[in-house]
Chain A
Amino acid sequence: MAALGAVLAVFLGALLAFLLLRWAGDILNPTPATAPQRVPFLGGYPPEVHAWNRYHVRYYAMALLFLAFDMEMVFMYPWAEVFVREGMVALVEMLMFIVILVIGILYAWRERALEWA
Protein backbone atom coordinates (compact mmCIF):
# COMPACT_ATOMS: atom_id res chain seq x y z
CA MET A 1 0.00 0.00 0.00
CA ALA A 2 2.77 2.35 0.95
CA ALA A 3 4.52 1.43 -2.24
CA LEU A 4 1.51 2.43 -4.34
CA GLY A 5 1.36 5.66 -2.41
CA ALA A 6 4.98 6.26 -3.30
CA VAL A 7 4.26 5.66 -6.98
CA LEU A 8 1.39 8.11 -6.81
CA ALA A 9 3.64 10.62 -5.11
CA VAL A 10 6.26 10.24 -7.83
CA PHE A 11 3.61 10.51 -10.55
CA LEU A 12 2.02 13.63 -9.12
CA GLY A 13 5.39 15.12 -8.26
CA ALA A 14 6.66 14.77 -11.82
CA LEU A 15 3.38 16.09 -13.21
CA LEU A 16 3.50 19.11 -10.93
CA ALA A 17 7.18 19.75 -11.62
CA PHE A 18 6.66 19.83 -15.37
CA LEU A 19 3.58 22.01 -15.12
CA LEU A 20 5.47 24.43 -12.87
CA LEU A 21 8.37 24.55 -15.31
CA ARG A 22 5.98 25.35 -18.13
CA TRP A 23 4.40 28.08 -16.06
CA ALA A 24 7.83 29.47 -15.25
CA GLY A 25 8.62 29.54 -18.93
CA ASP A 26 5.49 31.56 -19.53
CA ILE A 27 6.58 34.05 -16.88
CA LEU A 28 9.98 34.40 -18.52
CA ASN A 29 8.46 34.82 -21.98
CA PRO A 30 5.08 36.44 -21.66
CA THR A 31 4.86 37.59 -25.27
CA PRO A 32 1.38 36.81 -26.52
CA ALA A 33 0.94 35.36 -29.99
CA THR A 34 -0.47 37.48 -32.81
CA ALA A 35 -3.11 36.22 -35.21
CA PRO A 36 -0.75 35.39 -38.12
CA GLN A 37 1.49 33.54 -35.67
CA ARG A 38 -1.28 31.22 -34.63
CA VAL A 39 -1.98 29.85 -38.09
CA PRO A 40 -0.97 26.16 -38.15
CA PHE A 41 2.05 25.30 -40.26
CA LEU A 42 1.22 23.50 -43.47
CA GLY A 43 4.08 24.63 -45.70
CA GLY A 44 3.11 28.20 -46.54
CA TYR A 45 -0.63 28.17 -47.14
CA PRO A 46 -3.21 28.47 -44.38
CA PRO A 47 -5.45 25.50 -43.64
CA GLU A 48 -8.93 25.45 -45.14
CA VAL A 49 -10.64 23.52 -42.33
CA HIS A 50 -10.03 22.68 -38.71
CA ALA A 51 -7.74 19.70 -38.33
CA TRP A 52 -10.10 18.08 -35.80
CA ASN A 53 -12.33 15.79 -37.78
CA ARG A 54 -13.93 12.38 -37.81
CA TYR A 55 -10.61 10.79 -38.57
CA HIS A 56 -10.84 7.49 -40.36
CA VAL A 57 -9.03 5.21 -37.97
CA ARG A 58 -8.40 2.41 -40.38
CA TYR A 59 -6.85 0.07 -37.87
CA TYR A 60 -10.04 -0.46 -35.90
CA ALA A 61 -10.03 -4.18 -36.62
CA MET A 62 -6.53 -4.48 -35.22
CA ALA A 63 -7.64 -2.50 -32.17
CA LEU A 64 -10.29 -5.14 -31.45
CA LEU A 65 -7.63 -7.81 -31.69
CA PHE A 66 -5.53 -5.81 -29.26
CA LEU A 67 -8.45 -5.73 -26.85
CA ALA A 68 -8.59 -9.52 -26.90
CA PHE A 69 -4.88 -9.76 -26.16
CA ASP A 70 -5.08 -7.15 -23.44
CA MET A 71 -7.65 -9.29 -21.68
CA GLU A 72 -5.36 -12.25 -22.13
CA MET A 73 -2.59 -10.26 -20.43
CA VAL A 74 -4.91 -9.69 -17.50
CA PHE A 75 -5.10 -13.46 -17.08
CA MET A 76 -1.40 -13.99 -17.60
CA TYR A 77 -0.29 -11.69 -14.81
CA PRO A 78 -1.58 -13.88 -11.96
CA TRP A 79 -0.69 -16.99 -13.96
CA ALA A 80 2.97 -15.92 -13.97
CA GLU A 81 2.97 -15.68 -10.19
CA VAL A 82 1.59 -19.17 -9.54
CA PHE A 83 3.10 -20.93 -12.53
CA VAL A 84 6.01 -22.74 -10.88
CA ARG A 85 3.80 -23.82 -8.00
CA GLU A 86 1.06 -25.24 -10.20
CA GLY A 87 3.36 -26.97 -12.62
CA MET A 88 2.46 -28.63 -15.91
CA VAL A 89 -1.28 -28.07 -15.49
CA ALA A 90 -0.81 -24.32 -15.55
CA LEU A 91 1.38 -24.54 -18.63
CA VAL A 92 -1.05 -26.67 -20.59
CA GLU A 93 -4.10 -24.61 -19.72
CA MET A 94 -2.47 -21.31 -20.65
CA LEU A 95 -1.07 -22.89 -23.79
CA MET A 96 -4.58 -23.88 -24.90
CA PHE A 97 -5.82 -20.35 -24.22
CA ILE A 98 -2.96 -18.79 -26.14
CA VAL A 99 -3.31 -21.15 -29.09
CA ILE A 100 -6.92 -20.08 -29.53
CA LEU A 101 -5.86 -16.45 -29.54
CA VAL A 102 -2.98 -17.05 -31.93
CA ILE A 103 -5.42 -18.69 -34.32
CA GLY A 104 -7.29 -15.38 -34.05
CA ILE A 105 -4.15 -13.51 -35.12
CA LEU A 106 -3.66 -15.81 -38.08
CA TYR A 107 -7.28 -15.31 -39.11
CA ALA A 108 -6.90 -11.54 -38.86
CA TRP A 109 -3.72 -11.72 -40.91
CA ARG A 110 -5.41 -13.77 -43.60
CA GLU A 111 -8.39 -11.44 -43.67
CA ARG A 112 -6.02 -8.48 -44.10
CA ALA A 113 -7.26 -6.78 -40.97
CA LEU A 114 -3.67 -5.83 -40.17
CA GLU A 115 -3.21 -3.87 -43.38
CA TRP A 116 -5.40 -1.10 -44.49
CA ALA A 117 -3.79 1.04 -47.09
Chain B
Amino acid sequence: MSPVTRAVLGVVGLGGSLAVLIYLAAVLDRVIGHRVAQQPLRWSAALALPAREAARLVLQQRSRTERSDAEAWALAPALLAAAAAASVAVIPFGPAAAVADVDAGLALYVAAIALVMVAVFLHGWSPNSVYPLIGAYRFVAVTLSFQVPLALVLLATALPAESLSVSAIVQAQDGLWNVVRQPLGLPIFLATGLGAAFWGPLALPDADDLAGGTRAEVSGVPLLLWRAAQLAVLVSIAAMSAAAFLGGWRGPWLPGVVWLGLKTLAVLVVLLLAGHLLARVRQESFVVFGWVVLIPLALVDVFLSGILLL
Protein backbone atom coordinates (compact mmCIF):
# COMPACT_ATOMS: atom_id res chain seq x y z
CA MET B 1 0.00 0.00 0.00
CA SER B 2 1.57 3.28 -1.02
CA PRO B 3 2.04 5.90 1.67
CA VAL B 4 -0.44 8.20 -0.02
CA THR B 5 -3.14 5.52 0.00
CA ARG B 6 -2.36 4.78 3.60
CA ALA B 7 -2.56 8.46 4.50
CA VAL B 8 -5.89 8.92 2.75
CA LEU B 9 -7.24 5.76 4.35
CA GLY B 10 -6.08 7.00 7.72
CA VAL B 11 -7.72 10.39 7.36
CA VAL B 12 -10.97 8.92 6.07
CA GLY B 13 -10.98 6.27 8.75
CA LEU B 14 -10.38 8.89 11.40
CA GLY B 15 -13.21 11.03 10.07
CA GLY B 16 -15.56 8.09 9.93
CA SER B 17 -14.84 6.81 13.41
CA LEU B 18 -15.04 10.33 14.81
CA ALA B 19 -18.43 10.78 13.15
CA VAL B 20 -19.68 7.49 14.59
CA LEU B 21 -18.44 8.37 18.07
CA ILE B 22 -19.99 11.85 17.86
CA TYR B 23 -23.32 10.30 16.94
CA LEU B 24 -23.07 7.77 19.74
CA ALA B 25 -22.19 10.54 22.18
CA ALA B 26 -25.34 12.43 21.16
CA VAL B 27 -27.43 9.28 21.60
CA LEU B 28 -25.89 8.49 24.98
CA ASP B 29 -26.45 12.05 26.11
CA ARG B 30 -30.17 11.74 25.41
CA VAL B 31 -30.42 8.34 27.03
CA ILE B 32 -28.58 9.41 30.18
CA GLY B 33 -30.58 12.62 30.36
CA HIS B 34 -33.83 10.76 30.24
CA ARG B 35 -32.59 8.27 32.80
CA VAL B 36 -31.64 11.01 35.23
CA ALA B 37 -34.97 12.73 34.61
CA GLN B 38 -36.73 9.38 35.18
CA GLN B 39 -38.57 9.71 31.89
CA PRO B 40 -39.02 6.78 29.55
CA LEU B 41 -37.18 6.66 26.24
CA ARG B 42 -37.17 3.80 23.81
CA TRP B 43 -33.79 2.81 22.44
CA SER B 44 -35.05 2.89 18.86
CA ALA B 45 -36.27 6.45 19.35
CA ALA B 46 -33.01 7.41 21.03
CA LEU B 47 -30.88 6.06 18.19
CA ALA B 48 -32.80 8.06 15.59
CA LEU B 49 -33.08 11.30 17.55
CA PRO B 50 -29.75 12.96 16.61
CA ALA B 51 -30.39 12.21 12.94
CA ARG B 52 -33.83 13.77 13.12
CA GLU B 53 -32.49 16.84 14.90
CA ALA B 54 -29.75 17.16 12.31
CA ALA B 55 -32.26 16.92 9.45
CA ARG B 56 -34.39 19.61 11.01
CA LEU B 57 -31.40 21.88 11.48
CA VAL B 58 -30.32 21.36 7.87
CA LEU B 59 -33.72 22.62 6.77
CA GLN B 60 -33.52 25.73 8.94
CA GLN B 61 -32.22 29.07 7.75
CA ARG B 62 -28.86 30.38 8.88
CA SER B 63 -29.25 33.45 11.09
CA ARG B 64 -27.34 36.60 10.42
CA THR B 65 -26.76 39.65 12.62
CA GLU B 66 -26.00 43.27 11.91
CA ARG B 67 -22.34 43.91 11.12
CA SER B 68 -21.06 40.51 12.17
CA ASP B 69 -17.60 39.20 11.38
CA ALA B 70 -18.76 36.81 8.66
CA GLU B 71 -15.44 35.07 7.97
CA ALA B 72 -14.67 34.42 11.64
CA TRP B 73 -18.21 33.22 12.24
CA ALA B 74 -17.92 30.74 9.41
CA LEU B 75 -14.48 29.64 10.57
CA ALA B 76 -15.30 29.03 14.24
CA PRO B 77 -17.10 25.65 14.07
CA ALA B 78 -14.64 24.44 11.44
CA LEU B 79 -11.68 25.42 13.62
CA LEU B 80 -13.20 23.67 16.63
CA ALA B 81 -13.74 20.48 14.65
CA ALA B 82 -10.30 20.65 13.05
CA ALA B 83 -8.66 21.05 16.47
CA ALA B 84 -10.59 18.07 17.80
CA ALA B 85 -9.75 15.94 14.78
CA ALA B 86 -6.06 16.83 14.95
CA SER B 87 -5.99 15.94 18.63
CA VAL B 88 -7.57 12.54 17.98
CA ALA B 89 -5.10 11.87 15.16
CA VAL B 90 -2.21 11.33 17.58
CA ILE B 91 -4.02 8.65 19.60
CA PRO B 92 -2.90 5.12 18.69
CA PHE B 93 -5.43 2.40 18.02
CA GLY B 94 -2.98 -0.47 17.74
CA PRO B 95 0.57 -1.49 18.75
CA ALA B 96 2.17 0.45 15.90
CA ALA B 97 -0.87 2.14 14.44
CA ALA B 98 -1.88 5.75 14.75
CA VAL B 99 -3.04 8.10 12.05
CA ALA B 100 -0.20 10.41 13.03
CA ASP B 101 2.32 8.98 15.46
CA VAL B 102 3.98 12.28 16.30
CA ASP B 103 7.10 12.13 18.49
CA ALA B 104 5.72 14.83 20.76
CA GLY B 105 2.11 13.79 20.46
CA LEU B 106 1.25 14.98 23.94
CA ALA B 107 2.44 18.50 23.23
CA LEU B 108 0.43 18.49 20.03
CA TYR B 109 -2.64 17.35 21.94
CA VAL B 110 -2.39 20.15 24.46
CA ALA B 111 -1.82 22.63 21.63
CA ALA B 112 -4.95 21.40 19.86
CA ILE B 113 -6.97 21.82 23.07
CA ALA B 114 -5.62 25.35 23.32
CA LEU B 115 -7.02 26.03 19.85
CA VAL B 116 -10.46 25.23 21.26
CA MET B 117 -10.29 28.45 23.23
CA VAL B 118 -9.57 30.40 20.06
CA ALA B 119 -12.47 28.78 18.24
CA VAL B 120 -14.95 29.43 21.04
CA PHE B 121 -13.78 33.01 21.38
CA LEU B 122 -14.21 33.58 17.65
CA HIS B 123 -17.65 32.06 17.82
CA GLY B 124 -18.65 34.45 20.57
CA TRP B 125 -16.97 37.52 19.10
CA SER B 126 -18.24 37.27 15.54
CA PRO B 127 -22.00 37.88 15.90
CA ASN B 128 -21.43 41.35 17.40
CA SER B 129 -24.03 40.60 20.03
CA VAL B 130 -23.85 40.99 23.80
CA TYR B 131 -24.60 37.51 25.12
CA PRO B 132 -22.18 35.64 22.84
CA LEU B 133 -19.48 38.19 23.68
CA ILE B 134 -19.83 37.75 27.42
CA GLY B 135 -19.83 33.98 26.95
CA ALA B 136 -16.62 34.15 24.93
CA TYR B 137 -14.71 36.23 27.48
CA ARG B 138 -15.94 34.07 30.36
CA PHE B 139 -14.65 31.00 28.64
CA VAL B 140 -11.21 32.51 28.17
CA ALA B 141 -10.92 33.05 31.92
CA VAL B 142 -11.91 29.47 32.61
CA THR B 143 -9.62 28.05 29.93
CA LEU B 144 -6.57 29.84 31.28
CA SER B 145 -7.32 28.14 34.60
CA PHE B 146 -7.75 24.55 33.46
CA GLN B 147 -5.13 24.49 30.72
CA VAL B 148 -2.15 24.07 33.03
CA PRO B 149 -3.55 21.21 35.18
CA LEU B 150 -4.60 19.42 32.00
CA ALA B 151 -1.10 19.61 30.56
CA LEU B 152 0.58 18.69 33.86
CA VAL B 153 -1.54 15.63 34.39
CA LEU B 154 -0.84 14.37 30.89
CA LEU B 155 2.82 15.08 31.44
CA ALA B 156 2.79 12.81 34.47
CA THR B 157 1.79 9.92 32.23
CA ALA B 158 4.76 10.70 30.00
CA LEU B 159 7.23 10.17 32.85
CA PRO B 160 7.12 6.36 32.97
CA ALA B 161 7.10 6.23 29.18
CA GLU B 162 10.17 8.49 28.89
CA SER B 163 8.58 9.89 25.78
CA LEU B 164 5.95 12.39 24.79
CA SER B 165 4.55 10.17 22.06
CA VAL B 166 1.14 8.82 22.91
CA SER B 167 1.89 5.37 21.54
CA ALA B 168 4.90 5.14 23.86
CA ILE B 169 2.64 6.12 26.76
CA VAL B 170 0.25 3.32 25.86
CA GLN B 171 3.18 0.90 25.46
CA ALA B 172 4.41 1.80 28.93
CA GLN B 173 1.13 0.65 30.45
CA ASP B 174 1.67 -3.06 29.76
CA GLY B 175 2.13 -3.89 33.41
CA LEU B 176 -0.23 -1.51 35.05
CA TRP B 177 -2.65 1.09 33.78
CA ASN B 178 -1.83 4.68 34.62
CA VAL B 179 -5.12 5.10 36.41
CA VAL B 180 -3.75 2.80 39.10
CA ARG B 181 -0.21 4.11 39.09
CA GLN B 182 -1.27 7.77 39.13
CA PRO B 183 -4.65 7.87 40.83
CA LEU B 184 -4.88 11.65 40.84
CA GLY B 185 -4.43 11.81 37.10
CA LEU B 186 -7.73 10.64 35.64
CA PRO B 187 -10.08 12.66 37.88
CA ILE B 188 -8.15 15.87 37.22
CA PHE B 189 -8.00 15.13 33.51
CA LEU B 190 -11.74 14.50 33.34
CA ALA B 191 -12.52 17.65 35.31
CA THR B 192 -10.37 19.79 33.05
CA GLY B 193 -11.54 17.86 30.01
CA LEU B 194 -15.10 18.92 30.73
CA GLY B 195 -13.81 22.45 30.51
CA ALA B 196 -12.00 21.80 27.24
CA ALA B 197 -15.28 20.65 25.71
CA PHE B 198 -17.24 23.33 27.63
CA TRP B 199 -19.64 20.65 28.80
CA GLY B 200 -21.81 20.31 31.88
CA PRO B 201 -20.39 22.14 34.91
CA LEU B 202 -18.02 24.13 32.71
CA ALA B 203 -20.51 25.02 29.98
CA LEU B 204 -19.82 28.71 30.48
CA PRO B 205 -19.68 30.04 26.92
CA ASP B 206 -22.99 28.46 25.86
CA ALA B 207 -24.71 28.91 29.18
CA ASP B 208 -28.38 29.12 30.09
CA ASP B 209 -27.91 32.38 31.96
CA LEU B 210 -26.87 34.00 28.69
CA ALA B 211 -29.80 32.68 26.63
CA GLY B 212 -27.47 30.23 24.91
CA GLY B 213 -24.32 32.36 24.98
CA THR B 214 -22.19 31.93 21.87
CA ARG B 215 -25.02 29.82 20.43
CA ALA B 216 -27.64 32.53 20.96
CA GLU B 217 -27.42 33.98 17.44
CA VAL B 218 -26.73 30.70 15.61
CA SER B 219 -29.30 28.58 13.80
CA GLY B 220 -29.52 26.05 11.00
CA VAL B 221 -26.47 24.27 9.60
CA PRO B 222 -23.91 26.34 11.57
CA LEU B 223 -25.66 25.31 14.79
CA LEU B 224 -25.50 21.66 13.79
CA LEU B 225 -21.81 21.99 12.94
CA TRP B 226 -21.06 23.75 16.23
CA ARG B 227 -22.74 21.09 18.32
CA ALA B 228 -21.04 18.34 16.36
CA ALA B 229 -17.68 20.02 16.82
CA GLN B 230 -18.29 20.34 20.56
CA LEU B 231 -19.06 16.64 20.79
CA ALA B 232 -15.91 15.97 18.77
CA VAL B 233 -13.86 17.70 21.46
CA LEU B 234 -15.64 15.65 24.13
CA VAL B 235 -14.85 12.46 22.23
CA SER B 236 -11.24 13.56 21.91
CA ILE B 237 -10.98 14.05 25.68
CA ALA B 238 -12.54 10.66 26.28
CA ALA B 239 -10.21 8.98 23.78
CA MET B 240 -7.12 10.58 25.27
CA SER B 241 -8.10 9.57 28.78
CA ALA B 242 -8.63 6.04 27.50
CA ALA B 243 -5.18 6.08 25.91
CA ALA B 244 -3.20 7.84 28.61
CA PHE B 245 -4.85 6.37 31.70
CA LEU B 246 -6.81 3.28 30.77
CA GLY B 247 -4.34 1.45 28.59
CA GLY B 248 -5.60 2.53 25.18
CA TRP B 249 -5.72 -0.40 22.80
CA ARG B 250 -4.51 -2.90 25.38
CA GLY B 251 -6.82 -5.76 26.18
CA PRO B 252 -7.28 -9.49 25.55
CA TRP B 253 -9.05 -11.21 22.68
CA LEU B 254 -10.58 -8.19 20.92
CA PRO B 255 -8.67 -6.07 18.41
CA GLY B 256 -7.08 -2.88 19.72
CA VAL B 257 -9.47 -0.55 17.93
CA VAL B 258 -12.45 -2.14 19.64
CA TRP B 259 -10.87 -1.84 23.06
CA LEU B 260 -10.06 1.79 22.49
CA GLY B 261 -13.61 2.39 21.34
CA LEU B 262 -15.10 0.65 24.38
CA LYS B 263 -12.92 2.54 26.82
CA THR B 264 -13.72 5.80 25.06
CA LEU B 265 -17.43 5.10 25.35
CA ALA B 266 -17.07 4.26 29.02
CA VAL B 267 -15.34 7.57 29.73
CA LEU B 268 -17.94 9.33 27.58
CA VAL B 269 -20.68 7.93 29.77
CA VAL B 270 -18.91 9.32 32.84
CA LEU B 271 -18.48 12.74 31.22
CA LEU B 272 -22.11 12.86 30.06
CA LEU B 273 -23.34 11.82 33.49
CA ALA B 274 -21.27 14.60 35.03
CA GLY B 275 -22.93 16.99 32.61
CA HIS B 276 -26.35 16.00 33.83
CA LEU B 277 -25.64 15.88 37.54
CA LEU B 278 -23.32 18.81 38.18
CA ALA B 279 -24.45 22.42 38.08
CA ARG B 280 -22.60 25.06 36.15
CA VAL B 281 -19.73 26.54 38.14
CA ARG B 282 -19.27 30.18 38.93
CA GLN B 283 -16.54 31.73 36.83
CA GLU B 284 -14.51 33.18 39.68
CA SER B 285 -14.87 30.17 41.93
CA PHE B 286 -13.55 27.91 39.22
CA VAL B 287 -10.61 30.20 38.50
CA VAL B 288 -9.59 30.13 42.16
CA PHE B 289 -10.21 26.37 42.30
CA GLY B 290 -8.11 25.78 39.21
CA TRP B 291 -5.12 27.74 40.42
CA VAL B 292 -5.18 26.95 44.14
CA VAL B 293 -6.41 23.33 44.12
CA LEU B 294 -6.03 21.74 40.70
CA ILE B 295 -2.51 22.96 39.90
CA PRO B 296 -1.01 21.89 43.25
CA LEU B 297 -2.76 18.52 42.95
CA ALA B 298 -1.47 18.08 39.42
CA LEU B 299 2.04 18.99 40.58
CA VAL B 300 1.78 16.49 43.40
CA ASP B 301 0.74 13.94 40.80
CA VAL B 302 3.75 14.71 38.64
CA PHE B 303 6.34 14.67 41.39
CA LEU B 304 4.90 11.67 43.19
CA SER B 305 5.03 9.60 40.01
CA GLY B 306 8.51 10.94 39.42
CA ILE B 307 9.71 9.88 42.86
CA LEU B 308 8.12 6.45 42.50
CA LEU B 309 9.96 5.93 39.23
CA LEU B 310 13.37 6.55 40.68
Determine how close the nearest CB of chain A comes to the CB of B140; give it in whole angstroms.
8
Given known A-B contacts A7-B108, A62-B287, A102-B299, A14 and B78 have beta carbons under 8 A apart: yes
Q: Which residues of A contact B107 (CB under 8 A)?
A: 77
Interface contact B58-A62, CB-CB below 8 Å: no
How far apart are the CA atoms of A4 and B165 in the complex, in Å?
A: 12
B244 an interface residue at 8 Å Cβ cutoff? no
Given known A-B contacts A6-B99, A102-B296, A19 and B306 have beta carbons under 8 A apart: no
Given known A-B contacts A3-B101, A114-B287, A40 and B128 have beta carbons under 8 A apart: yes
Q: Which residues of A contact B225 (CB under 8 A)?
A: 18, 21-22
How far apart are the CA atoms of A65 and B104 in the complex, in Å?
A: 25
Give the interface centre of A3, A42, A80, A81 by most chain B CB atoms within 10 Å: A80
Closest to B136 in A: A55
Closest to B156 in A: A80
Given known A-B contacts A4-B102, A87-B310, A13 and B15 have beta carbons under 8 A apart: yes
Interface contact B309-A40, CB-CB below 8 Å: no
How far apart are the CA atoms of A6 and B133 in the complex, in Å?
A: 34
Interface contact A52-B145, CB-CB below 8 Å: no
Interface contact A14-B148, CB-CB below 8 Å: no
How far apart are the CA atoms of A87 and B129 in the complex, in Å?
A: 54
Given known A-B contacts A25-B62, A63-B144, A105-B295, A52 and B85 have beta carbons under 8 A apart: no
Interface contact B291-A6, CB-CB below 8 Å: no
How far apart are the CA atoms of A105 and B209 in the complex, in Å?
A: 30
Interface contact A83-B130, CB-CB below 8 Å: no
**Residue in contact with B81 in the complex, picked from A14, A28, A31, A85, CB distance below 8 Å:** A14
How far apart are the CA atoms of A57 and B136 in the complex, in Å?
A: 11
Q: Which residues of A contact B61 (CB under 8 A)?
A: 29, 31, 33
How far apart are the CA atoms of A76 and B151 in the complex, in Å?
A: 10
Closest to A43 in B: B211
Label chain B's interface by main secondary structure.
helix
Interface contact B128-A52, CB-CB below 8 Å: yes
Q: Which residues of A contact B163 (CB under 8 A)?
A: 81
B208 an interface residue at 8 Å Cβ cutoff? no
How far apart are the CA atoms of A18 and B110 in the complex, in Å?
A: 22
Q: Which residues of B contact A40 (CB under 8 A)?
A: 65-66, 127-130, 217
How far apart are the CA atoms of A43 and B148 in the complex, in Å?
A: 37
How far apart are the CA atoms of A18 and B225 in the complex, in Å?
A: 7
Closest to A26 in B: B62
What 0/1 pattern do residues 1 to 22 of A give for CB contact below 8 A with B?
A: 0111111011111111111011
**Residue in contact with B85 in the complex, picked from A13, A47, A55, A98, CB distance below 8 Å:** A13
Interface contact A73-B79, CB-CB below 8 Å: no
How far apart are the CA atoms of A28 and B56 in the complex, in Å?
A: 12
Closest to B99 in A: A6
Closest to A99 in B: B299
Interface contact A91-B129, CB-CB below 8 Å: no
Q: Which of B3-11, B186-194, B267-275 contacts A (4 or more CB under 8 A)?
A: B3-11
A100 an interface residue at 8 Å Cβ cutoff? no
Given known A-B contacts A6-B99, A51-B129, A17 and B62 have beta carbons under 8 A apart: no
What 0/1 pattern do residues 59 to 98 of B give for CB contact below 8 A with A?
A: 1111111110000001101110111111001100000001
Q: Which residues of A contact B240 (CB under 8 A)?
A: none
Q: A19-B78, A114-B284 are in contact. List 11 more A-B contacts (CB 8 A).
A: A6-B7, A13-B15, A15-B78, A18-B77, A18-B81, A18-B229, A21-B221, A28-B58, A33-B61, A50-B128, A52-B125
State the A residues within 8 Å of B (CB): 2-7, 9-19, 21-22, 24-26, 28-29, 31, 33, 37-43, 47, 50-52, 55, 57, 59, 62-63, 65-66, 69-70, 73, 76-77, 80-85, 87-88, 91, 95, 98, 102, 105, 108-109, 114-117
Q: List 9 A-B contacts (CB under 8 A).
A: A3-B100, A9-B11, A12-B82, A14-B85, A18-B77, A19-B74, A80-B159, A81-B164, A117-B284
| 6 nearest A-B pairs in the assembled complex, by CB-CB distance | A25-B221, A40-B129, A6-B100, A18-B78, A14-B85, A14-B82
